[in-house]
Amino acid sequence: MRAPTRPDLTTGLAREVAFFKIDVSDAKVVEDAFQAPWPSSKNAQEGQQVTVFHTAANIRFYERHPSLTHYSATVNVDGTKNIINSARSIGAPLLLYTSSGSVAIRNSRFWLWPWERKPKYFVQVINDDEILTRKPPSDFFSNYASTKMAAERLVRAADGSPSGDGVLRTGCIRPGNGVFGPGGDMMCGAALVRKTNPSWLSTIMQSLLYVENCSIAHLLYEQRLLEFMQGKSDVDIGGQAFCITDPGPPPINGDVYNTLEILTNGETHFPPLSPTLMLLVSHFIEIYYLTRYFLLLRLPLIGSWIPPLSGDLLSLQPSVFRLTTVHIMFDDSRARLPPEKGGLGYKGICTTLEGVHLTVDDFKKSAGKAEERSKNAGFSLMFAGLKKRRMGAKVQGEIDGTLNVEVITT
């Protein structure tokens, strides 16, 4: 773990939280961190139990070649295995894992024959259907998704296994599709930091998940398992996976872009790009990336002379189109069921566009200070130096709780 830099996590009571910077793929250091003594506290109760929330992941969504799987698997699979073993070593009764909604996304083929009108799986409605977890590795959109699925299976298989003098109960949350919000994210937060965000996705509709809605889902799963363990409920949902998304219909990306532009007076903007051109470019980038990898593997002297890719270019590979250039709607109706019917009783606190407002508000309050995840995500490419389009927003009044905004573009 990296010690936090967010103001809300470095002031007040949060300063008393202990952090251990470790390599999650190293079983020994993970075990040492779990075995570290808890600080004494007058509020501590005898026999207090531990819930483990495992959220660590290596998000290399741009790699799809099987030879590169180990880069993702080291953290996502081996690291998860270490977390499970260490949780059992201290007798933890609960482990909740942040999986990914992307584990259920099907591959699309974007180079079409003349008689084809749209890619296969161009529109996908994703739910908790178990059939979706049985796809072969080649059907995942990237190595990231296949390794997250492997990790999810480890967590679900560990449900009911011995843990200290008791058993370990587990569960998985599948955020759909990307998690965003205050504190640093790779979507809206990254767009606010970069300001210029060229995109070919404005017409794409995808479900998103505001960070507080995501947190609520994890805590509700913990509550449901505790109620069963304490005999307060006869419904056992241990070892399952639940898709979670924001309330309301999913927006198109253009709605999110417009909201960010208006709320930042045009400082954040999204120049349009051709998806066909960018897809073609992505294939050349992947060829370069793989060529360098295999040369380093087999002819290291020659490979060392080839400069590595980084930043925007590294991320712009064909697998990103499988994730972003399709319409994806997540169905979390099972999670919304009441506990007595096998659900989490989940209800999000805000819609996606309301979450975008909250994200911008937090960004402004922090005077534009960004966290690491937001600094290193998104695409700027050659557009970084463009003159920003200026937009003024004038509030005319408030009627029935909604703001009427006159947008002036210059």
Q: Which has the higher per-residue pLDDT, 16 or 84?
A: 84
At residue 370 the predicted structure's pLDDT band, cuts being 50, 70 and 90, is low
**How confident is the model at residue 361, as a pLDDT?**
94
Residue 150 scores a pLDDT above 50? yes
**Spatial separation of the C-alpha atoms in residues 239 and 237, rounded to whole Å:** 7
> Which residue ranges make up each domain of the chain?
20-37+48-409
Answer yes or no: are the C-beta atoms of 119 and 108 closer than 8 Å. Answer: yes
Give the closest residue to 83 by CA, choosing from 153, 34, 147: 34
* Cβ atoms of 317 and 282 closer than 8 Å: yes
The yes-or-no verdict on residue 48 having pLDDT over 80 is no
Give the chain's radius of gyration (CA, Å): 23
CA distance 257 to 388: 15
- Across 368-387, average pLDDT: 52
Is the pLDDT score of 245 beyond 90? yes
Measured distance CA(13)–CA(21) in Å, rounded = 20
Per-residue confidence band for 404, with pLDDT thresholds at 50, 70 and 90: very low
Mean pLDDT confidence for 81-96: 96
How far is residue 369 from each of residues 273, 372, 375, measured CA to CA in Å?
28, 10, 10
Given a cut of 50, is residue 382 above it in pLDDT? no
* Of 180-189, 269-278, 356-365, minimum mean pLDDT range: 180-189
Task: Kindly tell me if the per-residue pLDDT of 383 is higher than 90.
Answer: no
Residue 4: DSSP 8-state: P
Mapping DSSP to helix (H, G, I), strand (E, B) and coil, where does residue 275 land? Answer: helix
Q: Quick one: pLDDT at residue 310?
A: 83
Task: Reply yes or no on whether the pLDDT at 408 is more than 50.
Answer: no
Burial environment of residue 299 by CB neighbours within 10 A (0 to 12, 13 to 18, 19 or more): exposed
Number of Cβ within 10 Å of residue 183's Cβ equals: 17
Q: What is the dihedral of CA 354, 357, 361, 367, to 10 degrees?
A: 140
| Rounded-to-integer distance, Cα 274 and Cα 212, Å | 34
pLDDT > 60? residue 247:
yes
* pLDDT at residue 273 tops 50: yes
What's the pLDDT at 18? 83
- Non-local CB neighbours of 293 within 8 Å, separated by 6+ positions: 67, 68, 303
Spatial separation of the C-alpha atoms in residues 381 and 388, rounded to whole Å: 15
pLDDT digits (tens, 9 = 90+) for 316-337: 999 999 999 999 999 999 999 9
Percent of the chain predicted with pLDDT > 90: 70
- Going through 101-222 in order, the beta strands assigned E by DSSP cover 123-126, 161-163, 166-175, 178-180, 208-210
What are the tens digits of pLDDT across the range 249-267?
999 999 999 999 999 999 9
In this prediction, residues 99-105 reach a mean pLDDT of: 93
Which of 26-40, 62-76, 127-141 is predicted least confidently?
127-141
* Residues paired with 125 in a beta bridge: 329
Whether 60 has a pLDDT exceeding 70, the answer reads yes
The pLDDT of 98-103, averaged and rounded, is 94
pLDDT for res 139: 84
**pLDDT of 250:** 94
Identify the bridge partners of residue 329 per DSSP, sorted by sequence position.
125
- 100, 145 contact by CB (below 8 A): yes
Phi, psi of 114 (to 5 degrees): -55, -30
Average model confidence (pLDDT) for the chain? Answer: 87
The strand ranges marked E within 164-240 are: 166-175, 178-180, 208-210
Residues in the chain: 410
Q: Which fold has domain 20-37+48-409?
A: Rossmann fold (3.40.50)
- Cα 236 to Cα 214: distance, rounded to the nearest angstrom: 21
pLDDT tens for each residue of 110-119: 999 999 988 9
CA 207/CA 224 separation, integer angstroms: 25
Nearest by Cα to 164 from 50, 265, 277, 19: 50
What is residue 387's predicted lDDT score, i.e. its pLDDT?
42
**Greater model confidence, 225 or 369:** 225
pLDDT at residue 409, as a whole number = 29
pLDDT of 79 over the 70 cut = yes
**Confidence class of residue 134 from pLDDT cuts 50, 70 and 90?**
low
Among residues 73, 71, 76, 78, the alpha carbon closest in space to that of 57 is found at 76
